[in-house]
Structure 1
Amino acid sequence: MNFDLNSINVILPLLLQGLKVTVIASTGAVIVAIALGLLIAILRRSAGRVLRLAIDSVVTIVRSTPLLVQLYLLFYVLPLYGPAMSPMTTGILGLGIHYCAYLSEVFRAGIDAVPKGQWEAAIALQFNRFQTWRRLIIPQVVRIVLPQVGNYFISIYKHSSLLATITVVEILGTTLNYAGETFRYFEAFTLLGIIYFIVGFSLSRTVGYLERRLA
């Protein structure tokens, strides 16, 4: 099949609409992953032995099973025994829960990198536990782990294509729908690859810039 340049005028607006959905899903998943990952890292340091063992077990299970399987469980199995969620909500939670297991290790390493003297300073200033984390530790951890979090954001952006398997019409889902209706697979997937590259390359350059600034 020859590449039809005229079809780009039809495909491009559709893919840009799908890209908006991809960006929304990726951003939402990053927020969930950061919030849960930081919470897990703090609990691993502060909670009792039983709770730490339970958290470690859940994190191990999440990291040892494929993201696609987890999305299927949330979308097709969970509604049989619990609340049903929209495809977008399921996708955001699925991506966020999967990557929070990895980000929890990033935050744990960031917490360990905070000098011991900072904890001692908090005691000297008579900070309670909440004040110690909020005013002293977390601001330093954010600066330490920001480049690594940026790299995981890129991974989440690329893996958001799996949301097409649970009927989220993001950029890949839009491409599949258009190609299935028109049989213009060559044009659709070529343009899809170009868009993925442009956005992914821009994100990687941004992360590199932040890494240099925070070095």
Structure 2
Amino acid sequence: MYGFEWDTATPLTYAWSILPIILIGLTVTLKAAAAGFSIALVLGLVFALLRRSRVKAIAWTTSVVVEFLRDTPLLVQLFFLYYVLPDYGLTLPAFLTGAIALGLQYSAYTSEVYRGGIEAVPRGQWEAATALNLSRTDVYRDIVVPQIVPRILPAMGNYLVAMLKETPVLSVITILEMMGLANMIGERTFDYLVPLTMVGVIFLLLTLVCSAGLHWLQRALPKAGIPLQ
């Protein structure tokens, strides 16, 4: 596999020999999580804004889509994108399919985070912006976004960690991330303990790093909002 050979004489030598393969899987895991989370951040904001549309048909349709994405399993959505869409002429690479599936699933959650943050902005500020004849773009850019970022940061960080831990499900559509490679190594060596333990430890370290980064950002950002100047 990948041109590597492993030594199963002792757990330590076994772990050291399969480490390069596990690190290849780690790279795929991080790329999938980064791509999926980027999609979730952008699409979630779009959903949140559409749900606030003055056109009831748009707001209602968006609410239905968000509820559907949130209430159906990621695995079902993944299978639909990878196995059903090709029957209708749309075939996507496995990695792109996985990133889109992660992004769609978590965009439903991030949209609720955005919506909660937007609705937490005091009503008086909305009224003041209307009195000043500010455009909706100016209101969101200069008033809303600077205030909601510190408020939504903890929830967004939690969803990033959750998405990172969901990446092993992508192995069902042939994406060889960490868990998939660990399983393949275990199948070939009949020893699952070492590779699965390594993957578990790496996920734990990734979670701790993400949590530490999140706490640092929370301390660094002013609780009252990001200054405009």
Question: Post-superposition shift, 1:3?
Answer: 5.8
Code of the residue aligned with 1:21 in structure 2: it is: V
Once the two structures are aligned, what percentage of the paired residues are identical?
40
1:35 is aligned to 2:35: no
Question: Post-superposition shift, 1:4?
Answer: 2.2
Change beyond 3 A, Cα 1:3–1:65: farther
1:121 is aligned to 2:147: no
* Runs of 4+ residues over 4 Å off in structure 1: 212-215
SS in 1 for 2:175: coil
With 56-65 and 115-124 compared, the bigger mean Cα shift is at 115-124
CA distance in 1, matches of 2:84, 2:142: 41
Instruction: Tell me which residue corresponds to 2:77.
Output: 70
CA distance in 2, matches of 1:55, 1:82: 26
CA distance in 2, matches of 1:10, 1:85: 34
Question: Post-superposition shift, 1:89?
Answer: 0.4
Q: Is the 8 A contact 1:147 1:210 kept in 2?
A: no
Q: Is the 8 A contact 1:32 1:97 kept in 2?
A: yes
The unaligned stretches of length 5 or more in structure 1 are none
CA distance in 1, matches of 2:62, 2:10: 52
1:59 is aligned to 2:75: no
Question: Post-superposition shift, 1:2?
Answer: 8.9
Code of the residue aligned with 1:15 in structure 2: it is: I
The unaligned stretches of length 5 or more in structure 2 are 1-7, 224-229
When the two chains are superposed, the root-mean-square deviation of aligned CA atoms in Å is 1.8
Give the structure with the larger helix fraction: 1
With 160-169 and 132-141 compared, the bigger mean Cα shift is at 132-141
- Using the size of structure 1 for normalisation, the TM-score is 0.93
With CA pairs under 8 Å and 6+ residues apart, which has the higher RCO, 1 or 2? Answer: 1
Instruction: Tell me which residue corresponds to 2:172.
Output: 165
SS in 1 for 2:52: helix
Change beyond 3 A, Cα 1:124–1:163: same
CA distance in 1, matches of 2:172, 2:28: 14
CA distance in 2, matches of 1:190, 1:129: 51
Instruction: Tell me which residue corresponds to 2:227.
Output: none
Instruction: Tell me which residue corresponds to 1:85.
Output: 92
- Once the two structures are superposed, residues 145-169 of structure 1 have per-residue CA deviations (whole angstroms, 9 ceiling, x without a partner) of 0111011000000001111111111
Q: How many residues align?
A: 215
With 198-207 and 51-60 compared, the bigger mean Cα shift is at 198-207
CA distance in 1, matches of 2:34, 2:143: 27
CA distance in 2, matches of 1:82, 1:51: 28
Code of the residue aligned with 1:69 in structure 2: it is: V
